[in-house]
Amino acid sequence: MRSFRATRVRPAKQAGVALIESLVSMVLLAFGVLGVLRMSATIVEANVQSRERIQATFFAEQLIGMALADPANAPCYAVNASLTCGSTTAAANVTTWASQVASTLPGVTSKANLPSGSYATDGTFSVTVSWRKSSESKAHSYTATTNVLN
């Protein structure tokens, strides 16, 4: 009979490879998570900008609606214009509207980004609503135009 001698098998020189592989996978996972966080921050910012545009559109259309509902006093709804207004109700509505715009949209103050309106003798009525976030250098604006006499 043959006798077998027990031999010890030496492990290959791979000590620590699993640790390195797990560290590499953790780094890749961290970059993936950072990418998802960056993407979600961008989506949130886009939603905020969209909300501001919707609010500006709403306010502009609201003022146009006031002018269309009261065409005899349409010049009174030209915000920050040098037109004389004979209706105290229309003047009060415009003042309330302007304060709502200033309290809702960012960067609208008594000195900057004021809403403005114009009324022409042919009945063309325009309103511009502007806003600017403190982190931005350029103001955004929305302008709506209609004819209140037709």
**Parent domain of 66:** 55-147
132 located within any domain:
yes
43 located within any domain:
no
Q: What's 11's DSSP letter?
A: P
- pTM, full prediction: 0.74
For the chain, how many structural domains are there in total?
1
The residue-averaged pLDDT of 56-68 equals 93
28 located within any domain:
no
76 located within any domain:
yes
Contact by Cβ (8 Å): 59, 101: yes
26 located within any domain:
no
Residue 119: count of CB within 10 angstroms of its CB: 19
Q: What are the pLDDT digits (tens) for 73-92? A: 888 888 876 667 788 898 88
Mean model confidence pLDDT for the chain: 87
35 located within any domain:
no
30 located within any domain:
no
Amino acid at 106: P
Highest mean pLDDT among 2-16, 28-42, 102-116: 28-42
